[in-house]
Amino acid sequence: MLGDLKELWNYRDLVKSLVVRDLTVRYKNSVLGFFWSLANPLVQVATITIIFKYVLAIGIPNYSAYVLCAFLPWMFFQLSLSDAGESVLRQYDLLRKVYFPREALTIASVIANLIHLALALGVFFIYLLALGVAVEPGWLLLPVCVLFNFFLVLGLAFFVSALSVFYEDMRYLVNVATNLFFYCCPIIYVSEQILFSSKIPAGLRERIWEVYHWNPMATFIEGYRQLLLPRFTGAGITDVPLDWRHIALAGVVSFVLMVAGYAFFNSRKWRFAERS
Amino acid sequence: MDQSPAIRLVDLKKRFRLQHHPVTTLKAAAANFWKRRWEDLWALNGVTLDVGRGQTLAVIGRNGSGKSTLLGLLGRVYLPTSGLVEVNGRVAALLELGAGFHPDLTGEQNVLLNGVILGMREREVRGHLDPIIRYAELEHFRDAPLRSYSAGMIMRLGFSVAVFTDPEILLIDEVLAVGDEAFQRKCLKEIRRFQDSGRTIVFVSHDIDTVREVAGRVVWIHEGSVRADGATEQVLGEYLDFAAQQAAAEAQA
C-alpha cells in the first residue's frame, strides 16, 4: 500500500486536473451551474419544511435550517457514491490503453463533490448570518467534521467504484442502499427523537440510541448541526450534546473504512482492464 | 552510457480468464457462486525479447495473436502473469482517437488533462501548451470545445500531446491508420524525427506499407509466441507467405 501511495503522490497533478475537469464540466464554465446544483436540495428542503411546519406541525422553530444543515452533507454522501460508481467506468477505454493510478479517478470524483459541499456550506453560512445567527467559535471545528466525513465517503467510494467495474447492477444496489440509509441518518428528523419517543419502551431507548451511533454518518450530521446551529428546543425534545465516545467511534470507523477501501480497490485495480 | 536495452522481456506470459457465462451482475455472481467456470486463455505464452535503444520495432500478427496484449504489458495496463517486463525509460502510449479527451472541455483544457494522464507534471504541460497547439495546427480552435472538432483535429491534438511528453519509448497501437493523407505523412515525419533522436518505438500495425517504411525490425507474434523475429523484409516475407497459405486453405475448405 505504501508503494501505491507513493505512486499516487507522483500523479498528484492528475488528481488535481481530474477535479478541475469534473467541476468545469459540471458547472459548464458558469456560475449559474453551481446554483442549479443547489436547486435540488433547496427544493427538497422547502418541501420538507412546509410538510413539517404546516402538515405534521413538529414545532421546532427554524426547522428548515436544521433540515438544510443535514441535507448538505447528505448530498455530499449520496452524490459521491453515485459518481464513484461511474468514475472508473466512464474512463474505461482510457484504462485499457494507458497506465495511471486508477484510484486517481475515484479520489478526484469524491474531491469534486467535497468542493461542492464546501461551496454549499459557504452559501449556508450566508444564510445563517442573514437569519441573524451569531458567529460561534465552534465553527472552527467544522473542517475536522468535514475531513472525517470525507474519509468515510472516500472509503465507501473505493468499494463502490471497484465493484462497479465488474458488476453492472452495482449502481442499483447503491441507489437502493442510500435511499434506505437516508432514513438511518438524522435528516428529516433529529436523533434526539429516539431518546424522547413515547413509542419506544423506556428501557430500550438508551440501547437504540447507542446502536444508532454505530453509523458514523449519523454522528457527523449531528456534528454539523451542533456546530453550526443554536441548540433547539421544542416539541418536548431537548438537544443532547454529542458524546465523545460516539465522536471517537465515528472517527475511527471512518478512517478504517478509508484504509480498507483503498486496500480493496488496490487489490482489484489491476484486473479492471482485464474484465471480460 | 547506459548499455541496458530499452525493453527486456523474459519468458513473458499473460493469462486471461475467459468466462463461459460472463458474470457481469451481482445477481449473477450470487447465483453462480458455486459454479463459476472459466477457461484460461494464454494471450502471451513465453515471449523473450530485447529491444535495443533507438530501435523501431513493428509487431505483426493476426487478430487475437497477442500483439495488443504485448503492448498493454509494456504500457503497464496489465500485470504479467509470469515472466519479466523491464522497461528502461519514460514510456508514452499514443492513444486512440480522443481517448482521455472530454467533449465539453476546450482544446487547451484537454491538452492539460491529457498531458497529466500521460504522466507529465502540470507545469510541464503548461510550459509546452503553445508548441503543442501550434504543432497540432489548432491555434484558432484553442478555446473551442472539443465537440466542435473534426476527427482529424482530435487525432492531431492527441498525437501532438504524446510527442511533447518527450518519451524515451513510444508505444503505438494501430493509430496511424486514421487521419487523412497529409496528416499521416506528418505523423510519419514525426516518427522519423523521433527515430533520428535515438529513441525507441514499438508499434503494432496491420498496414504492411507502414511497417515497411518505418520499422527496422519486425517481430511476428503467432498464438502468443514469437514466430519470427528479424530484419523487416525477411519477417514480412515469411508472414505474407503464411497469410497467403492460410487464405488458400480457407478458400479450399
Say if B243 is an interface residue toward chain A (CB within 8 Å). no
Q: Residue A268 has what pLDDT?
A: 92
Per-residue pLDDT at B156 exceeds 90: no
pLDDT for residue B60: 92
Residue among A240, A15, A33 nearest A116 (CA): A33
Q: Is A191 a residue whose pLDDT tops 60? A: yes
| Structure confidence at residue A57 as a pLDDT band (50, 70, 90) | low
What pLDDT sits at residue B175? Answer: 64
Which residues are CB-neighbours of B74 under 8 A, at least 6 positions away?
A: B7, B85, B87, B91, B169, B171, B202
pTM for this prediction: 0.89
Task: Answer whether A168 sits within 8 Å of B72, measured CB to CB.
Answer: no
Closest CA relative to residue A67, chosen from A208, A185, A175, A213: A185
In angstroms, rounded to a whole number, what is the distance separating the alpha carbons of residues A93 and B93?
A: 13
- pLDDT tens figures, A73-103: 999 999 999 999 999 998 888 888 889 999 9
pLDDT tens digits along A201-213: 888 888 899 999 9
A11: confidence class by pLDDT, cuts 50, 70, 90: very high
CA distance B87 to B170: 11
- pLDDT score of B111 more than 60: yes
Residue A220 has pLDDT above 80, yes or no: yes
Q: Inter-chain contact A167–B26, Cβ cutoff 8 Å?
A: yes
A 10 A CB-CB count for A244 gives 8
How confident is residue B178, by pLDDT bands cut at 50, 70 and 90?
low
For the segment B2-39, what is each residue's pLDDT rounded down to a tens digit?
568 899 999 999 998 877 666 778 877 777 766 667 78
Residue type, B81: T
On average, the pLDDT of chain B sits at 86
Mean pLDDT of A242-262: 95
Q: What is the pLDDT of residue A58?
A: 67
pLDDT of B1 > 60? The answer is no
Residues of A in contact with B113 (CB under 8 A): 17-18, 21
Q: Which of residues 194-213 of B touch A (CB under 8 A)?
A: none
Contacts of B25 in chain A (CB under 8 A): 167-169
Q: What is the average pLDDT score of chain A? A: 88
Give the rounded percent of residues in chain A with a pLDDT score beyond 90: 48
Q: Residue B238 has what pLDDT?
A: 93
Answer yes or no: do A18 and B113 touch at CB < 8 A: yes
- Please say whether the beta carbons of B189 and B116 come within 8 A: no
Q: Which of A22-26, A69-73, B3-7 has the highest mean pLDDT?
A: A69-73
Q: How confident is the model at residue A255 (pLDDT cuts 50, 70, 90)?
A: very high
Q: What are the phi and psi torsion angles at A198 (to 5°)? A: -85, -10
Candidates B15, B26, B154: best to mutate against A (most CBs of A within 10 A) is B26
Cα gap A223→A242, rounded to integer Å: 7
Residues of chain B above pLDDT 70, percent: 92
Q: How far is CA A67 from CA A51, A188, A221, in A?
A: 12, 6, 10
| pLDDT value, residue A150 | 98
Banded pLDDT at B50 (limits 50, 70, 90): very high
What distance in Å separates the CA atoms of residue A135 and residue A124, rounded to the nearest whole number? 13
Residue A236 pLDDT more than 80?
no
| Contact pairs from chain A to chain B, CB under 8 Å | 86
Read off the C-alpha cell for A188.
428529516
Provide the H-helix boundaries in chain A.
Answer: 2-10, 12-27, 31-50, 63-89, 92-95, 103-131, 142-166, 170-182, 192-195, 202-212, 216-228, 244-269
pLDDT tier, B210 (very low <50, low <70, confident <90, very high otherwise): confident
Q: How far is CA A213 from CA A67, A217, B145, B199, in A?
A: 19, 9, 48, 60
The mean per-residue pLDDT over the stretch B138-162 comes to 87
* Percent of chain A whose predicted confidence (pLDDT) is above 70: 96
A133 pLDDT above the threshold of 80: no
Nearest in space to B246 (alpha carbons), one of B219, B230, B223, B212? B223
At which residue does the C-alpha cell 463461459 appear? B20
Residues 112-131 in B contacting A (C-alpha not used; CB under 8 Å)? 112-113, 116-122
Torsion angle defined by CA atoms of residues A247, A251, A257 and A263, in that order, rounded to the nearest 10 degrees: -170
Task: Single out the residue of B1, B91, B82 nearest to residue B43, CA to CA.
Answer: B82
DSSP letters of B215-237? -SEEEEEETTEEEEEE-HHHHHH
What residues are paired with B169 via a beta bridge? B91, B200
Strand pairing class (B56-60; B82-87): unpaired
- Per-residue model confidence (pLDDT) at position B231: 92
Of B53, B47, B121, B124, the residue nearest B87 (C-alpha): B53
- pLDDT at B242 (0 to 100): 92
Lowest mean pLDDT among A191-200, A264-273, B239-248: A191-200
pLDDT number for residue A140: 86
- Return the number of other C-beta atoms located less than 10 Å from residue B76's C-beta: 16
**Pick from B27, B95, B105: CB nearest A98:** B95
| A21 contacts in chain B (CB < 8 Å) | 102, 105, 109, 113
Interface mutation vs chain A, best among B17, B85, B102, B116, most A CBs within 10 Å? B116
Confidence of residue B95 (pLDDT cuts 50, 70, 90): low
Q: Name the residue in chain B with its Cα closest to that of A271.
A: B78
